[in-house]
């Protein structure tokens, strides 16, 4: 890009100096058409002047293209869309292509294959991939808590009524389904003895549609779709945070090898994420309007959702993961996989050095 820019400068100088030369020949027709030292000096001077007055961003290197994967497009994932739509990634000199995928398995597979540079979604699939030898690291948080409610058909009103129910879920692994199974276990319901799981890709909205059609009898929906479910006459059985108060629902993940090789890029990405999260917290009305339009929500639901996520700090203003919550993720993952021995510390999977560097840059601003 720099070479192309210099070529354009020289072309402009050539045209300018040729015009200046033509003017001199018009005034002094007997002068030979020979480029003297003054013309050469003139070209150099103009080129240097143009380099000084043109913004440095013009001659900077092209923006690195980053493919960012999202396994769902719901209110909780909004910080990713804020970064893309409100220009925070672009302000950091990044060309971030936000790719919506169908659930966590596809997101993890794409990140493993290198089709994605950065992924998001539940922590456990990335932990599992790390345990299988992939160099995944968690670099920050997007949703630091469980914002899902258990919604059931009109004839189901209690946890006990859920025996024999078929739950809709985006996958058999990942944050939401892990917390659901743990919350139901605390109520005496074991999988697969007491209920079934049916994979329905697409997140809370498609789960709610499946409930409305009778395809399933219960599901989890994230705030604010619980309000829409109540308005439609469905029953709210409880919220997952009642059973699991600390949990890392959604993370930012990448390959350690890629992040280290592209450390300045990763730091800029994390800085953009922090800017996006803080914008959501600090711009109430603008954020609510954005959420209503981008997530196609009723304004009243967007407002309630914004209040829920900000008041509970489920969107972490500084972009960090909740270590206490991640410990719970690890414990549940170990129980489900039958892992033996002491539980690993979160530090085995987390590297927030990119985030910390980004926060230092923001403090100096």
In a domain, 69, yes or no: yes
CB 253, CB 119: distance < 8 Å: yes
Q: Is residue 306 part of a domain?
A: no
Is residue 213 exposed (0-12), middle (13-18) or buried (19+ Cβ within 10 Å)? exposed
Phi-psi region of 202 (alpha: psi -120 to 50; beta: other; left: phi over 0): left
Instruction: Specify whether the backbone of 308 is left (phi greater than 0), alpha (psi in -120 to 50) or beta.
Output: alpha
Question: Do both 260 and 280 map to the same domain?
Answer: yes
The reply to whether 11 falls in a domain is yes
3-state secondary structure of 341: coil
Q: Kindly state whether residues 139 and 176 are assigned to the same domain.
A: no
According to DSSP, the β-strands at 95-100 and 65-70 are parallel
Q: In terms of residue numbers, what domain contains 10?
A: 2-59
Beta carbons of 172 and 105 less than 8 angstroms apart: no
pTM for the model: 0.76
CA distance 84 to 294: 11
- Per the structure, the count of domains in the chain is 3
Phi, psi for residue 46 in degrees, rounded to 5: -65, -40
| CB 162 within 8 Å of CB 272 | no
Q: What is the dihedral of CA 110, 114, 120, 122, to 10 degrees?
A: 60
Q: How far apart are CA 153 and CA 166, in angstroms?
A: 11
- In this prediction, residue 83 carries a pLDDT of 98
For residue 298, being part of any structural domain is answered with no
Q: Say if residue 159 is in the same domain as residue 210.
A: yes
- Is residue 248 a contact partner of residue 329, using CB atoms and an 8 Å limit? yes
**One domain for residues 55 and 175:** no
Pairing mode of beta strands 136-143, 196-199: unpaired
Strands (E), the chain: 65-70, 95-100, 118-121, 136-143, 148-152, 166-169, 196-199, 218-222, 235-239, 250-255
Beta bridge partners of 136: 255
Per-residue pLDDT of the chain (365 residues; tens, 9 = 90+): 443 433 443 344 344 344 333 333 333 334 433 444 444 334 434 434 444 444 444 334 578 999 999 988 889 999 999 999 999 999 999 999 999 997 888 999 999 999 999 999 989 899 999 999 999 999 999 999 999 999 999 999 999 999 999 999 877 766 678 789 888 998 999 999 999 999 887 667 788 889 989 999 999 988 998 998 999 999 999 999 888 888 999 999 999 999 999 999 999 999 999 999 999 999 999 999 999 999 999 999 999 999 999 999 999 999 999 999 999 999 888 887 888 889 999 999 999 999 999 999 999 87
Is residue 260 in some structural domain?
A: yes
Of 59, 83, 102, which marks where a domain is finished? 59
Residue 309 in domain = no
What's the confidence (pLDDT) of residue 234?
95
Residue 242 is predicted with a pLDDT of 83
Same domain as 156, residue 104: no
Residue 169 sits in a domain whose CATH number is 3.40.190.10
Distance of CA 27 to the CA centre of its chain: 65
Determine which helix (DSSP H) or strand (DSSP E) holds 17, and give its type and residue range: helix 2-27
**Is residue 140 in a domain?**
yes
Structure tokens at 329: 């993720």
Using the 8-state DSSP alphabet, how is residue 187 labeled?
T
Is 300 among the domain residues? no
pLDDT score of 31: 41
3-state secondary structure at position 246: coil
pLDDT of res. 208: 84
Query: Looking at the structure, do residues 140 and 153 belong to the same domain, yes or no?
Result: no
Same domain, 332 and 277: yes
The tokens 């892992």 sit on which residue?
339
Beta-bridge partners for 198: 168
Strands across the sheet containing 148-152: 196-199, 166-169, 218-222, 148-152, 235-239
CA distance 351 to 36: 61
């Amino acid at each position: 890009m720099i070479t192309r820019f210099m070529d354009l400068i020289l072309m402009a100088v050539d045209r300018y100096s040729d015009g200046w030369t033509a003017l001199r020949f018009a005034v002094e027709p007997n002068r030979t058409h020979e480029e003297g030292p003054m013309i050469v000096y003139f070209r150099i001077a103009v080129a240097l002047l143009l380099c000084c007055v043109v913004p440095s961003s013009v001659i900077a290197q092209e923006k690195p293209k980053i493919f960012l994967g999202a396994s769902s497009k719901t209110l909780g994932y909004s910080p990713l869309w804020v970064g893309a739509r409100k220009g925070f990634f672009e302000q950091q000199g990044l060309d971030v292509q936000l790719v919506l995928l169908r659930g966590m398995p596809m997101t993890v597979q794409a990140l493993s294959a290198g089709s994605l540079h950065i992924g998001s979604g539940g922590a456990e699939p990335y932990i599992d991939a790390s345990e299988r030898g992939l160099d995944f690291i968690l670099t920050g948080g997007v949703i630091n808590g469980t914002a899902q409610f258990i919604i059931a058909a009109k004839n189901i009103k209690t946890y006990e009524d859920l025996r024999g129910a078929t739950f809709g879920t985006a996958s058999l692994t990942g944050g939401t389904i892990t917390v659901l199974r743990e919350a139901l276990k605390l109520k005496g319901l074991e999988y697969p003895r007491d209920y079934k799981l049916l994979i329905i890709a697409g997140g809370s909205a498609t789960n709610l549609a499946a409930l409305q059609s009778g395809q399933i009898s219960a599901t989890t929906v994230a705030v604010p779709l619980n309000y829409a479910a109540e308005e439609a006459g469905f029953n709210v059985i409880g919220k997952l945070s009642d059973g699991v108060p600390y949990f890392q629902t959604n993370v930012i993940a990448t390959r350690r090898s890629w992040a280290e090789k592209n450390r300045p890029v990763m730091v800029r990405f994390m800085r953009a994420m922090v800017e996006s999260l803080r914008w959501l917290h600090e711009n109430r009305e603008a954020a609510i309007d954005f959420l209503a339009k981008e997530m196609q929500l009723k304004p009243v639901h967007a407002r309630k959702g914004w209040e829920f996520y900000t008041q509970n700090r489920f969107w972490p203003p500084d972009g960090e993961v909740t270590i206490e919550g991640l410990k719970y993720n690890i414990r549940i993952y170990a129980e489900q996989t039958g892992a033996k021995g002491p539980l690993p510390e979160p530090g085995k999977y987390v590297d927030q050095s990119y985030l910390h560097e980004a926060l230092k840059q923001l403090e100096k601003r």
